[in-house]
Structure 1
């Protein structure tokens, strides 16, 4: 993945405004590889502050694995493979493991897809097919590679697994970094020379051969030739079967082997005299490659051979081959094979026809016929383009449908998350209601306790003053108002600021001593009006047994003092 990360800037460098980088991860399993590539893309965009869109298509046959990938929940064991920075940036830690963040999950579209049968994604910039080819047969591997080759842009990249590779002689891909299994598609058609738009054909034991040149007009056309199984090898490394085929080719009349669509499969060396290739893209259609003088007769013979399924012979045709005029008879023989096909033989007019067959009447090569042929060719071309556009549209609609399905699943997942959140909020609200009820009960109890305490202090009629640790007034009873000249706003004033008629200069010292020693103090004090009080100073203890200040109480003992004075006077008499 380090080598893959190094080539990512090249993918973005080729994009114009509005373009998107498209990635296809084939056989994505549970999504680890798709999310890894998404992280690399996201990091590149974050580093370069780029705005290019990224579309990642991840496909697999296993729908259960696709569902797991869409969830994006992985066990804690990924800590061994993912750096702490990426875990923090791209994952949420949950009770069951690490979940991929929504922003990264929205970059990847997961879909059930068969790479051997279903239409491929198109315009792919990066295709990843790791650890899939090793489980396939050679034929299936070729089909997968041809599908990937068709789906990729010419500047795209193919990323394979460490145990997989592409043959160096392959016509589909060439290596960019062989050590790390990075490849680029080769230009031109696929290996079989046909359009691999939706399904790659089966390839069973083929070898490559080239037709000899016939003048300057004949291009070197690569065609597939079914290989003959050889029992041994002859001179020069050729099998006896190949030597036999070469000898027959030299002795037999010129011939061309066609498939059911009139595409050339094999051309004998002598038949190249009757073929003409113009400039431009090579064609495998025999009707486009034969000399104009025999095209109409050949087309008619192929039609009758396909309709009546018998050998067809044409009338002698005058053909200009090089600088000589020749009379040629065409013989078309349909093949008794499941795939169908034809064998076209070119014979001299005076040569025996061999097998009996249907003799066609002479075909007049008039301007009207040529005009109809050109019109038919044009209509076929238009029809082919229409079919290609239709197939492309179907592919795009299918991809759009898959995207909409993925979006629908995301919305369904979001709805479930919202429902879960609503249930959690409802549970929290019920807890709050319960807590509020408990608090209300406690507040009511506290109010009742305050009422009881207030009534108790009013009922005792004992002047009482509560001070904090700084000897500031915190509470006082109504009886204290006349003794200290207090009002409600005096709460918080220091004891030294209070005026009192008491003849008690040791009041502050006694309060400080009780606070330090925690020993209660009692003292009889009088006032300027002749009243006497028993002044008691005690520490103020909280329910947690913490000293929060002192309590001053003044019990009126005037009557007791007067009685003691009267008793003393009586005793003195």
Structure 2
């Protein structure tokens, strides 16, 4: 609702934000107003001031009040290896992937944005030191840790932590990376040189560049949607091509899927997608250490690396002649060394398994990479391969096209898995009739539970922050702190229970026999179940977020426009219609579409639900 869409707007409060920006250079206008007003109100209560104008006067005459206000606003909730599952995935999958993509001499640049008191930055140092060894870590890794809170950065640079902060650190890591200092522990001084702390405002300041791994966890939630979009563009710019973004569990990047590809959505790892303005594939020769290798050695390394690439790759020059073909391509398409140097048009690969020449011309003329999915190739008797094609223009340092790279990815295994999943879904179709009577009730319950989960997560975070503040007070508040901790644990358990219920409801939608499609008031698809995938052959990630009428399926969507618009306008509307269509197998079928309004708890229409099933199946 865009922070209640300025329902919380107050001229006196905005005057405080403007003064803070003008006097101290802190721009909080991008933060969510509800959270800001709650935290500023807490500080006003502490100093005994009831109104915003009076508090602005207080700020103007008490310079020391800024520090107390910032400490109240910038609640730094962090810990070592926070969210164990995500860090386990970082250690087991992401770090080995990054190391495999770099040579043993390449530098690795890591950025921890919103590092607070440093636990996240030192967790990254431990994870990479474990994977690379201490000597390689010292020589190759630089970790840049930034925050807007100067007091938190001072604490991070000191790298001194007590037993409470180190509770999540395994015993072997504590012995290996920390030195005891009285009742506290200090991160190893030698490794600390690889971690550089500095102030950076994600809203106002320029990003750090050439980053291989960017960690920005549970930070964007404090900003408005407009500020989030601006920050994500900066993070995208900061990453090297194919760089990795590690986000918090509450952040999904749904509105920015075109600039980031999910590596693992559950653990919130994404990969940068180079923008179309890059034109094609560029080779940065400054990344090569030419002082240690002669040109001949480098050329030999390039040749061996190209030949050993696990995917089939062919390079065609500007004359249409095959310039290179690696071992995988030769084996897959029965090419030989004699075929290198021949015109592509004279080879069978130019038209089988797919017509290549037009795609190559298009990639070269438009200077952008092309991707073709779901290519089926009958390689031999009983052998059908599923391939994905990537055609990328090769651009020289002088900005001239010098050729085109054609890469074939064998996705046969994934294709078979999808087929098996489709068969499993068909086996569950007999449960649809039993679930049909409860669908509407479950969808309403799901909406209410989602709202409750969001409220509980917000409450949980505030209680965590309050708990840390109370731990620093005197012994008289210790009993209150224990009670708040108990409440916090209960809320955390409730959140997990609600997550389980939400997952259960999602599995029910997935198991429905009919195609279920949910659209919002803008007629954009927000839900697309497995039944819809099986009926039209369009995957969920391809449909969700798209306008319903723009979907390329065999259903005459224009005929549904007035029906859907009526459901969006009238919360009590419901209508059933039968349409001629073509299913994903190209067969003509009669489709019965039942369209009704999606209502919120107040009874107002927030979208529309379409239930699609073949008329033959309903008759049966």
TM range (shorter): 0.3 to 0.5
TM-score (norm 2): 0.30
TM-score (norm 1): 0.33
> Which protein has the larger Cα radius of gyration, Structure 1 or Structure 2?
1
Normalized per residue, which structure has more helix?
Answer: 2
